[in-house]
Structure 1
């Protein structure tokens, strides 16, 4: 870098974004540790939450919703299926499509995991007033929308 170029860490936008990224990473690490007694990883929890909210979604739709490649989903699903947490069934109209749904065991584990997750999120978000929490959420939704790639 030449001496005339502004360094990124002198820029408040850079410093604040690094703080957001560090906070996100800290929450992910804490969540991974909190979910370990349930033998569940954050990525697996994402799958369970999405299938609970959208039963019958396809593997393709799940990958898009989670912002991951289909290969990531292809690797995750057998682990959850082998634990009897979800099932994959052929679509009646298109045999190439597999529909996903939670089993009763999957739903029960999800409810336990959500208690853990909500406890962690309550601890994190109580650092903010309700208005600050809403403002933060709105800002992060705008960031996600600005970077949306389809």
Structure 2
């Protein structure tokens, strides 16, 4: 950059984007710490939440919903299965497809972890009015939609 070019941090959009990214990293750090007593990582919690909401979804569908590669989901699932939190069942119509379900222990651990997660979200989002919270969520959904069209 030469001296005549505007620096990115002089741009309010850049500064605000960086602030949002830093806030997200702070929340992830806090949540990672809060999930440790449950022997869960954030990615594992995401998987459990999706299986709870959509019992019987396929491994492929979970990966697509979480915007992660199939190799990542393939690494997460055996860990959750070994902990006794999920079970995989072959699809009755298509033997290549594995359907995912929470075990009783998986559902119980998820419910306890969700208490911690929602308390953190409530604490963080209390920094905004309901209208600001809704506007922020709408903006993030628009960004996600705009970028998912780039695939």
Cα deviation, 1:24-76, whole Å, max 9, x if unaligned, reads: 11100000000101111111000000000011111111100000000000000
Aligned residue number for residue 50 of structure 2: 50
Aligned residue number for residue 132 of structure 1: 132
Gaps of 5+ in 1: none
The answer to whether residue 142 in structure 2 is matched with residue 142 in structure 1 is yes
Give the secondary structure class of the aligned counterpart of 1:5.
coil
Aligned residue number for residue 31 of structure 2: 31
Structure 1 position 2, deviation (Å): 1.7
Compute the RMSD of aligned alpha carbons.
0.8
Cα deviation, 1:81-117, whole Å, max 9, x if unaligned, reads: 0111001110011101101010111000000000000
Structure 1 position 4, deviation (Å): 2.0
Aligned length: 150
Structure 1 position 140, deviation (Å): 0.7
Cα deviation, 1:97-145, whole Å, max 9, x if unaligned, reads: 1010101110000000000000100100000111111111111111111
Give the secondary structure class of the aligned counterpart of 1:147.
helix
Aligned residue number for residue 122 of structure 2: 122
Structure 1 position 3, deviation (Å): 1.9
Q: 2-side partners of 1:60 and 1:4: how far apart?
A: 50
Segments of 4+ in structure 1 off by > 3 A? none
Gaps of 5+ in 2: none
Q: 2-side partners of 1:6 and 1:147: how far apart?
A: 25
TM-score using structure 2 length: 0.97
The answer to whether residue 102 in structure 2 is matched with residue 102 in structure 1 is yes
TM-score using structure 1 length: 0.97
